[in-house]
Chains A and B, each alone.
Chain A
Amino acid sequence: MKPVHLFIAVLLVCAVFSGTALAWNPVTVTDDSGFESIIESEPQTIVSLAPTNTEIIFALGLGDKVVGVTEYCNYPEEALTKQTVGGYSTINVEKIVTANPDIIFANPKNGQENIDSLRQLGYVVVVIQSDSVNGTYDAIRMVGTCTGTTAGADSLVSDMKTRINAVTEKLEGVTEKPTVMHAMSIDPYWVSGSSTFQNELITLAGGTNAFADVEGWGVVTLEKLLTTDPQIILVDSGSKMGTTGENTLQKSFFTEQRLSSITAVRNNDVYVMDSDTFDRGGPRIVESLEQLAQILHPEIFGNYTESTSSASSPGFGVILVIAGIILVIAGFIGGIFIHRRK
């Protein structure tokens, strides 16, 4: 009797402990760079090398497993508490090795060399490129497949689809599509053209990209901007924050007197888009889309009220570093003088 009991007990224990492991069948995934990876067991630790990946991973409830993110991963807020392993193309391989993740979600912008060297070190690296709405769905499903959260991924995707459909359905039959300019800098005017993520969102939200003849992101001349005369202008919140907290990019559209004849400027239709939401192919694209639809078609979606931008001005740490450098130079020059006195 006893040995039998023991045997059953051992079996039970095994079953309990290996419950998760038993449920995991090794999956083979082909990532967006065409590379095939085999995931042998359920990943317990994850490193994300792009803000989009981080947003997707957290949205799937895998935040606790994340052991490394990039400097640019600022959403959700928990991501800020995670260990950073470098920037985009400036990944610190040593930090990743210290974190020793079971799986790494990378981005083509990380650079093929970095991805290759991580693979050479034996890490499972899945490259994810989400630069369209469908690409974002694929990215979410890919993360789901790799981490065993396919159900969560599917429901996230269908939630997003429902919200996007809610917008596009209301726009059916709308023929008046305002021309929209999305500017990321003003000197020169750097805009989103066709085959960009922003172009897709503008089109989905019932607008026309004023600079659809620009392929990808490009520079347009002042002359072209004046003759194109966009009806609505969107500016990025990100890079051009002044020290006063207002968006200098938005402001410059109103202060440049030559632009005063442009429809968007005349009608006060220059809006700040949160660049972290608008320029990232993550789950939050639906928020951008809803916001954009409100801007473009207030007659359907109600009036848009601009929230104060949350983006912050450059950290004081960097300013301190610069101050330090200037001091070093001053010391250097001073040293030369003193040396010469002798």
Chain B
Amino acid sequence: MLRRPVLLLPVLFVILLVSIVITTFIGVSGLSLLTFDSEMIRKLIFEVRLPRVFGALLVGGGLAAAGCVMQGLFRNPMADPYIIGTSTGGALGAACAIVFLGGLLMPLFAFIGAAASTITVYIISKRNGRIAVETLLLSGIAVSLFLSAMLSFIMYMSGNSLHQIMFWMMGGFWNIYWDDVGLALLIPVAAIILYVFSRDLNVMALGEEEAIHLGVNTERTKKILLMVSTFITAIAVSVSGCIGFIGLIIPHIMRIFTGPDHRILLPASILAGSILLIWADTVARTLPIEIPVGIITAFLGAPFFIYLLRRRTRV
């Protein structure tokens, strides 16, 4: 943990700005960019690369924020934005759109699938107007398994569309355009709501009973936080498919630096998630063959996390 964790935020912000500029000038066409006419350069930068960079920025930040909140809410280090069935629900929705509609309205179906599965989990766990986080976690896993069985069934029956579903599930910003980025702009709006509750989240980390005694309306807080982070995740899923790892690991990495205070941890996670996904997507689109970005995030992030983990335990 840093001595003055707050100072991490401006540092990360500067890194993010620099990353945006650098990654915009990196592309598969590389230096040959200079040989194109100005119209092509304009098109590549403003219509191909910038939407991808901003899409990655918003989705990465959103996933990290949702993961951070889920971990705080469930008081479980294994929690991630997808823990209550969001990813499988989204994947099922997208798979249905691919198989039955030939890929039409895929983002909408993914969003509906993600939101519906989470709401189902929520309804199942709700008892007498209260939800116990343990029940939520377990029913989330149960619904996830059920949906993934349906997903497997659709994939098994899909024949030629199988690769399409596979690509979607691995996540990526293949053909992202400004209208997708516009949709993703809902993520920062929702993230502000999460930030408002970061102090309540700190208190709830002590345990629900303690939080009630300290004057936190835990049921309301839980409900709002769940709704908002699910909304963020569902938007992210509909824009870019299921990108793993960021929501799970980024909050852990940031916690090493900032400590458990969500008022700093949450914005730090958002910034770090944005930075990681921007760079991962740049690698994904610059390699000779485009690779799903979800593979890159885990490939780059996991060793780094293991390194941090080892270093921390040694100190």
Contact = CB atoms under 8 A, between A and B. Distances in A.
Q: Do A and B bind each other?
A: yes
Contact of B290 (A87, A221, A256): A221
Contact of B40 (A87, A189, A227, A249): A227
Given A214-B289, A336-B124, A258 B103 contact: no
Interface string B94-126: 001001111110100000000000001001100
Contact of B43 (A248, A258, A314): A258
A258 B48 contact: yes
Interface in B13-54: 27-29, 32, 36, 39-40, 43-44, 47-49
A240 interface: yes
Interface in B148-191: 150, 153-154, 156-157, 159-161, 163-164, 167, 172, 174-175, 177
A90 B156 contact: yes
B194 to A, nearest CB: 28
A9 to B, nearest CB: 58
Interface string A207-233: 000000110001111111011000000
A239 B47 contact: no
B255 interface: no
A222 B174 contact: yes
A258 B100 contact: no
Contacts of A190: 163, 167
Interface in A120-141: none
Contact of A188 (B123, B156, B159, B172): B172
A185 B175 CA distance: 12
Given A243-B102, A248-B104, A258-B177, A188 B288 contact: no
A219 B164 CA distance: 11
Instruction: Select the residue from B32, B104, B127, B146 with max chain A CB neighbours within 10 A.
Output: B104
Contact of A227 (B29, B100, B167): B29
Contact of A223 (B159, B285, B291): B285
Contact of B49 (A187, A223, A227, A241): A223
B290 A242 contact: no
A222 B102 contact: no
A72 interface: yes
A107 to B, nearest CB: 15
A231 B70 CA distance: 50
Nearest to A333: B120
Interface in A9-23: none
A231 to B, nearest CB: 16
A220 B48 contact: no
A13 B119 CA distance: 79
A226 B44 contact: yes
In the complex, which range does the number of interface residues on chain B fall in? 35 or more
Nearest to A220: B290
Interface in A73-118: 87, 90
Contacts of B101: 242-243
B92 to A, nearest CB: 10
A319 interface: yes
A322 interface: yes
A189 B153 CA distance: 25
Contact of B28 (A223, A241, A336): A223
B177 A188 contact: no
Interface in A172-228: 184-190, 213-214, 218-224, 226-227
Interface string A299-338: 0000000000000011000110110010001000100100
Interface in B256-304: 285, 288-291
A226 B120 contact: no
22 contacts: A185-B163, A185-B164, A187-B106, A188-B167, A188-B172, A219-B291, A220-B289, A220-B290, A221-B285, A222-B48, A223-B49, A226-B43, A226-B44, A239-B159, A241-B102, A242-B101, A258-B48, A261-B39, A261-B43, A318-B99, A319-B100, A336-B124
Interface of B: 27-29, 32, 36, 39-40, 43-44, 47-49, 96, 99-104, 106, 120, 123-124, 127, 146, 150, 153-154, 156-157, 159-161, 163-164, 167, 172, 174-175, 177, 285, 288-291
Given A219-B289, A224-B29, A261-B39, 19 more contacts: A87-B159, A184-B163, A185-B164, A186-B103, A187-B174, A218-B289, A219-B167, A222-B48, A226-B40, A227-B29, A227-B32, A239-B160, A239-B161, A239-B164, A241-B102, A318-B157, A322-B100, A325-B150, A329-B146
Interface of A: 72, 87, 90, 184-190, 213-214, 218-224, 226-227, 238-243, 248-249, 256, 258, 261, 275, 313-314, 318-319, 321-322, 325, 329, 333, 336, 340
